[in-house]
Amino acid sequence: MKKVLLVGSGKMGSALLTNWAKKISHLYELTVIEPNNNASTKIKSLVANAYKKLSEIPKDYDPDIVLFAVKPQIMEAVVPEFKIFTRKALFISIAAGKKISFFENHLGKEAAIIRVMPNIASSVERGVSVAMASLETKDIHKQLCSDLLEAVGEVYWLEEEKQIDSATAISGSGPAYFFLLTECLSSVGEKIGLPSELANKLSRATAIGSGELLYQSDVSTENLRTSVTSKGGTTEAALKVLLNENQLETLVEKAVQKAYQRSKELSS
């Protein structure tokens, strides 16, 4: 069995761990380092090996994969002590803003390093991740990384590290955009006469159903949209507002550009 050491179990780390424990624990030996006492109970229900710090792990422990899921601002303090595993381990980071060069500086130029940007839908096995590998990373390492990420959704490999900033603005932050649209639909539903609970349920169910249709269909999004839009009907009336002078597209572009610029700032 391959040995996976998960360092940190916040929202994203916990989402990965929960699904790994359910789907691939028969293939991987999962070990977690998490100093937060509040998270320890849940972790221990998922894996047998849970520790608060690296020094507690048995001296002969030799992981195949070390995945960093701690906050970017504490990476500087956390990463260096894991250099003891550089000879064998693949290092994966899901932290925003920390470039491959950061890990090479702390783990050595010879280290196999993969930088990943997942998203929160990984918690329900519908995640999408993008990944970029260092020059020292071999195909076998990339396959190991793909196997872990595919247990929680889809994974796509990038050709340039700078593309991570673009992907962050689309798929990393993207779920929040759709949640906001659902909030707006619910709020407007109340304003036009629906009870609050019903407006919320209709908005959520509509978002879920539309997402599932996108997932299952190979029809373009434009054709899916037009299939709902009858000439002279209610949908057409609404879309005339949203499409007027490309207002919606312009607003979405402004928002995504802000996310993109912020991702670049964090990576500088």
What is the per-residue pLDDT for 6? 96
Rounded mean pLDDT, 173-192:
98
What is the per-residue pLDDT for 182? 98
Provide the percentage of residues in the chain whose pLDDT is more than 90: 84
What is the per-residue pLDDT for 62? 95
Distances (CA, A) of 38 to 78, 95, 229: 20, 21, 49
CATH 3.40.50.720 domain range(s) in the chain: 2-167
3-class DSSP assignment, residue 245: helix
Strands 112-117 and 127-133, how do they pair?
antiparallel
What is the per-residue pLDDT for 40? 66
Provide the percentage of residues in the chain whose pLDDT is more than 70: 98
Considering the domain 2-167 in this protein, what is its CATH number?
3.40.50.720
Please give the model's pTM, rounded to 2 decimal places. Answer: 0.91
Average pLDDT, rounded, for the chain: 94
CATH 1.10.3730.10 domain range(s) in the chain: 174-267
**Structure tokens of 204?**
């959520």
What is the per-residue pLDDT for 217? 96
With bands split at pLDDT 50, 70 and 90, how would you rate the model's confidence at 97? confident
135, pLDDT greater than 80? yes
d(CA 135, CA 201): 48
157, pLDDT greater than 70? yes
DSSP code for 65: E
Order of strands across the sheet that contains 127-133:
49-51, 28-33, 2-7, 65-68, 90-93, 112-117, 127-133, 153-157
- More confident: 43 or 247: 247
The tens digit of pLDDT for each residue in 20-38 reads 998 888 999 999 998 876 6
Considering the domain 174-267 in this protein, what is its CATH number?
1.10.3730.10
41, pLDDT greater than 80? no
Q: 37-48: string of b/e by CB count within 10 Å (b at 16+)?
A: eebbeebeebbe
What is the per-residue pLDDT for 82? 97
Q: Are 231 and 217 in contact (CB under 8 A)?
A: no
Half-sphere exposure of 207 (CA within 13 A, CB side): 18
39, pLDDT greater than 70? no
